[in-house]
């Protein structure tokens, strides 16, 4: 098998059951991460997040769409520390900036 079965790579030890209060806190933390990412980037960058029910518990994604280039995204776990979350936001912001640089570098100047 190539890992395409619904149970591939899953471990019952990895299942996360959060209380409604913990999910609310996770949602608040994710909103704070999104707001923080917006402060690091110019307005042309679109920052968003999503919290959904996954097969192993709540799954969150934080994403940045630069004005040019590809979307940069990463998963966020409920048990991540504040330092890990801040580092993730910085890495996403840097990754989005790199996407813009690569897209601009790929443009061939035209003769004027």
The ranges assigned to domains in the chain are: 17-103
Note the pLDDT tens digit of each residue in 22-50: 999 999 999 999 999 999 999 999 999 99
Number of Cβ within a 10 Å radius of residue 30: 20
Note the pLDDT tens digit of each residue in 60-110: 999 999 999 899 999 999 989 999 999 999 999 999 999 999 888 876 666
**pTM, rounded to two decimals:** 0.77
pLDDT score recorded for residue 86: 96
CATH architecture of the domain with range 17-103: 2-Layer Sandwich (3.30)
């Amino acid at each position: 098998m190539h890992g395409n079965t619904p149970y591939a790579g899953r471990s019952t030890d990895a299942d996360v059951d959060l209380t409604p209060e913990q999910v609310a806190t996770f949602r608040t933390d994710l909103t704070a991460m999104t707001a923080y990412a917006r402060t690091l980037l110019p307005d042309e960058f679109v920052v968003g997040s999503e919290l959904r029910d996954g097969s192993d518990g709540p799954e969150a994604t934080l994403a940045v769409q630069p004005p040019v280039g590809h979307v940069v995204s990463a998963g966020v776990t409920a048990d991540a520390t504040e330092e890990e979350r801040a580092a993730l936001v910085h890495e996403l912001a840097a990754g989005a900036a790199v996407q813009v640089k690569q897209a601009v570098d790929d443009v061939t100047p035209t003769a004027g």
